[in-house]
Amino acid sequence: MSRVALPDFPWDSLAEAKAKAQAHPGGLVDLSIGTPVDPVPESIRAALASVSEIPGYPTTHGIPELRAAAIDALSRRHGIEGVPEAAVLPTIGSKELVASLPRQLGFGPGDLVVIPEVAYPTYEVGVLLAGASLLRADSTFALGPQRPSMLWINSPSNPTGRVLGVDHLRKVVEWARERDVVVVSDECYLALGWESEPVSILHPSVHGGSLDGLLAVHSLSKSANLASYRAGFVTGDPKLVAGLLEIRKHSGLIVPRPVQEAMVAALKDDEALAVQRERYARRRLVLRKALLDSGFEISHSEAGLYLWSTRGESALDTVDWLADRGILAAPGTFYGPAGGRHVRIALTATDERIDTAVERLAS
């Protein structure tokens, strides 16, 4: 059996730029990754501890309270209706699902999987692990006569912050259904719209009353600071979710019981979500202005946790320019060849570190 050749882990290549940034007086301002820095809300921590004495195996499908809380939150926060509770499946964060989903759906050699032109690197990894073929495309027109087996969309996008409108999403769904293509929407940043209100692929205005062939991936890492808990879920077409559930039962891919309880609390706590949104909104406001004032252009970035920024030069040159100022960013090349002149600048730093970055950009 041949070993799958995977690309190098992108962030490992930032070691030299990171060392330069760390040497700056006042230390490093790391805006290269999307790791939450704010505390987990007390209501969620209390929920986690409340069931810590339970010794038995958790259920792969998730406790009924978790599935009900997810359905309620999708409806209350995003206007999603008509998803049965059986079609909610908790995942160990979202990354493990993204990396394994093409294979878990039964795709492999001979299948074509489409990902966005500028995309979260793990989409590509999932295709490679499945042994399927990869195509980067932002438009179904670019596919010509090719019929993919699976198509990834990401709105709001990581890294660009681009939001796909209802008409665009509806056309993708209609096109895919005519060709029996599974559409998977990464919606991990759905609750973080700033200049545009993101819409789920599971919204009735998009799917027209049928969930067939559709999956949406959700995460609580960003909206509830639960990256350390590894808390996410996938939902959509009941048949597709049932198939994933069977595979995950056999594989032991189970969200720990205390984490499931914490997810219930997070999905019910709209006030905590609002507080976190305000933190990110403030950081975005001051950092965006500082970047524009220092000569950057910002593309898209109407939602999510990143400012997709360019100085009109090579992404690596911009990374080096920022590192000279003690700031670390991710080059757009991490996300595909089309990102070669942009950098992704994250909002996930403390207020003090964001303010420090603003001061350094101004000077």
Alpha helices in 141-298 (DSSP H): 166-178, 204-207, 238-251, 257-268, 270-293
Task: Please work out, in degrees rounded to the nearest 5, the angle formed at the alpha carbon of residue 224 by the alpha carbons of 267 and 305.
Answer: 125
93 within a domain of the structure (yes/no): yes
5 within a domain of the structure (yes/no): no
The whole domain housing 152 covers 42-268
**Residue after which a domain boundary falls, among 252, 268, 284:** 268
Beta bridge partners of 193: 303
User: Which residue from 301, 298, 322 is spatially nearest to 310, judged by alpha carbons?
Assistant: 298
> 127 is written with which tokens?
């295709």
CA distance 227 to 46: 17
Q: 350 with 248, same domain?
A: no
Pairing of strands 327-328, 330-331: unpaired
218 within a domain of the structure (yes/no): yes
Q: 257 with 295, same domain?
A: no
DSSP helix/strand/coil, 295: coil
1 within a domain of the structure (yes/no): no
pLDDT by position in tens, the chain (length 363)? 457 788 888 889 999 999 999 999 999 999 999 899 999 999 999 999 999 999 999 999 999 999 999 999 999 999 999 999 999 999 999 999 999 999 999 999 999 999 999 999 999 999 999 999 999 999 998 888 899 999 999 999 999 999 999 999 999 999 999 999 999 999 999 999 999 999 999 999 999 999 999 999 999 999 999 999 999 999 999 999 999 999 999 999 999 999 999 999 999 999 999 999 999 999 999 999 999 999 999 999 999 999 999 999 999 999 999 999 999 999 999 999 999 999 999 999 999 999 999 999 998
Q: 27 with 169, same domain?
A: no
323 within a domain of the structure (yes/no): yes
Q: 142 with 258, same domain?
A: yes
Q: 89 with 148, same domain?
A: yes
Q: 292 with 241, same domain?
A: no
* For the chain, counts of helices (H) and of strands (E): 12, 13
Q: 192 with 155, same domain?
A: yes
> 274 is written with which tokens?
């609002």
The CATH number linked to 258 is 3.40.640.10
Q: 47 with 193, same domain?
A: yes
pLDDT at position 1 is 43
**Residue after which a domain boundary falls, among 238, 268, 298:** 268
What strands, in cross-sheet order, belong to the sheet with 330-331? 297-299, 306-310, 343-346, 330-331
Q: Which residue has the tokens 């009353």?
A: 209
Q: 325 with 345, same domain?
A: yes
321 within a domain of the structure (yes/no): yes
**Residue after which a domain boundary falls, among 216, 236, 268:** 268
247 within a domain of the structure (yes/no): yes
Q: 49 with 132, same domain?
A: yes
CB 233 within 8 A of CB 70: yes
CA distance 243 to 131: 20
3 within a domain of the structure (yes/no): no
Q: 183 with 280, same domain?
A: no
Count of structural domains within the chain: 2
Q: 317 with 247, same domain?
A: no
